[in-house]
């Protein structure tokens, strides 16, 4: 009998092919056309599904991973979730070494997705045997047939975006893209996507978004590692205090920095104006658009693509909590009125 069932064989078939959505209201008054690649449409709700799939499938092709093998990474964030998801479907053990700074919610989320989680003390140096880097390395050594994803130094991270995000954006814009603006953490997303786009059209301009407190912008400009640039900041997932091997700085034309506070307010504004519930770095990249527009970066016919890396639900106790915003000092007398108060009906 003919098979009429239109189902996907597993959730993994839904990785990639995320929508490109025109920004209408948040970019009102800007010069140019603006579009967001909404990566929360991936089944693991972030762009990291792409690298988890690609790195794991490459290891399978090379015969490194076989049934029951172990996959190890050091992250409590989006990458950990994506690796856990892929591991469940493909039958691998997933071990994640995370910092004791990670919230209980994040650890519970990873455990729910089948990961074995090691919580390691946050306040020890990176080369201490108890640090999450060293714990992951030790487990990798001790577990034969295991792979260590090591996203900051794995070239396959960049390749995942070169093979998927880049071609998707080129096709979705009919080759009319003029600018790519994206956050840089490991740098895999921006450099892999940029490399593909520039191969199609070398005039595509690529702008990386960095945080105040991170070394990326200065390193791009001078190729010098300046530790004076480093100080704590709030946005998770963009910027870095080391030079990530997964970044190709040559395909990025320039970097722009954004603040924690403005990025947080802009993330909230995206929800209210575009109806897209996105993560903190989506706020950061849109904040960068505001600054670039003000600097006269875009022309009236330009087609600017930004990447929204993940979903807002991961930030309920942060950017989307009024208490957290207040605790950070992000509300001032001008902005506090933006939040709606909940109305309680008496019992």
Q: How far is the CB of 157 from ligand PMP (least distance, A)?
A: 7
Q: Return the range that interacts with ligand PMP (CB under 6 A); candidates 55-63, 178-186, 216-224, 326-334.
A: 178-186
Minimum Å distance from CB 225 to ligand PMP? 18
Query: Which one, 69 or 249, has the nearer CB to ligand PMP?
Result: 249
- CB nearer to ligand PMP: give 69 or 80: 80
Q: Of all residues in this chain, which one has the CB nearest to ligand PMP in the complex?
A: 237
x/- mask, ligand PMP, residues 59-88, rule CB under 6 A, reads: ------------------xx----------
**Helix, strand or coil for residue 4?**
coil
Establish if 164 lies at the interface with ligand PMP (CB under 6 A). Answer: no
**By CB under 6 A, residue 150 contacts ligand PMP:** no
Looking at 2-10, 135-143, 183-191, 217-225, which segment touches ligand PMP (CB under 6 A)?
A: 183-191
The residue with tokens 């991170």 is 214
**Three-state SS for 222?**
helix
276 scored as a contact of ligand PMP (CB under 6 A): no
Size, binding site for ligand PMP by CB under 6 A: 16
Given the complex with ligand PMP, which of 69 and 247 has the nearer CB atom? 247
Strand partners of residue 180:
206, 305
Among 44, 80, 166, 237, binds ligand PMP (CB under 6 A): 237
Q: Name the strand (E) or helix (H) holding 290.
A: helix 280-294
- Binding ligand PMP (rule: CB under 6 A), the pick from 32, 80, 166, 187 is 187
Exactly one of 183, 197, 251, 305 binds ligand PMP (CB under 6 A); which one? 183
Q: Give the residue, chosen from 16, 44, 166, 279, that forms a contact with ligand PMP under the rule CB under 6 A.
A: 279
Rule CB under 6 A: say whether 188 interacts with ligand PMP: yes
Q: Which is it for strands 20-22 and 33-38: parallel, antiparallel or unpaired?
A: antiparallel
Q: What is the DSSP string of 36-103?
A: EEEGGGSTTSBTHHHHHHHHHHHHHHTT---TT-EEEE--SSHHHHHHHHHHHHHT-EEEEEEETTS-
By annotation, the residues acting in catalysis are 48
- Candidates 226, 223, 237; CA nearest to 184 is 237
Question: How crowded is residue 143: how many other Cβ atoms within 10 Å of its Cβ?
Answer: 16
Among 52, 95, 177, 238, binds ligand PMP (CB under 6 A): 238
Strands 147-148 and 70-73: parallel
Q: How many CB atoms lie within 10 A of CB 50?
A: 26
**159 forms part of the interface with ligand PMP (CB under 6 A):** no
C-beta of residue 26 within 8 angstroms of C-beta of residue 269: yes
Residue with Cβ nearer ligand PMP (44 or 77): 77
Q: Which residues of 163-179 are buried (b: 16+ CB within 10 A; e: fewer)?
A: bbbbbbbbebbeeebbb
Q: Tell me the C-alpha distance between 202 and 89, whole Å.
A: 39
Question: Minimum distance from CB of 152 to ligand PMP (Å)?
Answer: 8
- Given the rule CB under 6 A, which residues bind ligand PMP? 77-78, 183-190, 237-238, 279, 281, 309-310
């Amino acid at each position: 009998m003919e098979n009429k069932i239109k189902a996907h064989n597993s959730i993994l078939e839904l990785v990639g092919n995320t929508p490109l959505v025109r920004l209408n209201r948040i970019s009102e008054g800007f010069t140019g056309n603006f579009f967001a690649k909404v990566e929360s449409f991936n089944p693991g709700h972030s762009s990291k599904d792409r690298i988890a799939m690609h790195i794991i499938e490459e290891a399978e092709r090379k015969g490194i991973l076989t049934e029951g093998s172990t996959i190890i990474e050091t992250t409590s964030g989006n990458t950990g979730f994506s690796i856990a998801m892929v591991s469940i479907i493909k039958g691998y053990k997933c071990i994640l070494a995370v910092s004791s700074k990670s919230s209980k919610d994040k650890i519970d989320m990873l455990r729910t997705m089948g990961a074995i989680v090691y919580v390691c003390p946050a306040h020890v140096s990176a080369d201490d045997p108890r640090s999450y880097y060293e714990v992951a390395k030790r487990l990798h050594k001790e577990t034969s047939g295991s792979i260590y994803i090591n996203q900051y130094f794995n070239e396959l991270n960049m390749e995942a975006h070169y093979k998927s995000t880049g071609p998707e954006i080129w096709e979705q814009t009919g080759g009319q893209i003029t600018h790519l603006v994206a956050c840089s953490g490991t740098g895999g997303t921006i450099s892999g996507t940029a490399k593909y786009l520039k191969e199609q059209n070398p005039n595509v301009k690529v702008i990386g978004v960095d945080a105040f407190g991170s070394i990326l912008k200065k390193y791009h400009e001078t190729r010098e590692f300046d530790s004076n640039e480093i100080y704590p900041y709030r946005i998770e997932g963009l910027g870095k205090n080391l030079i990530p091997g997964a970044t190709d700085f040559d395909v990025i034309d320039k970097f722009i920095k954004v603040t924690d506070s403005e990025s947080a307010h802009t993330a909230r504004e995206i929800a209210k104006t575009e109806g897209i519930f996105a993560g903190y770095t989506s706020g950061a990249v849109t904040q960068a658009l505001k600054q670039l527009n003000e600097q006269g970066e875009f022309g009236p016919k330009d087609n600017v693509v930004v990447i929204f890396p993940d979903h807002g639900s991961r930030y309920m106790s942060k950017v989307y909590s009024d208490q957290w915003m207040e605790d950070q000092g992000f509300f001032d007398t001008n902005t506090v009125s933006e939040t709606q108060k909940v109305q309680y009906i008496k019992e």
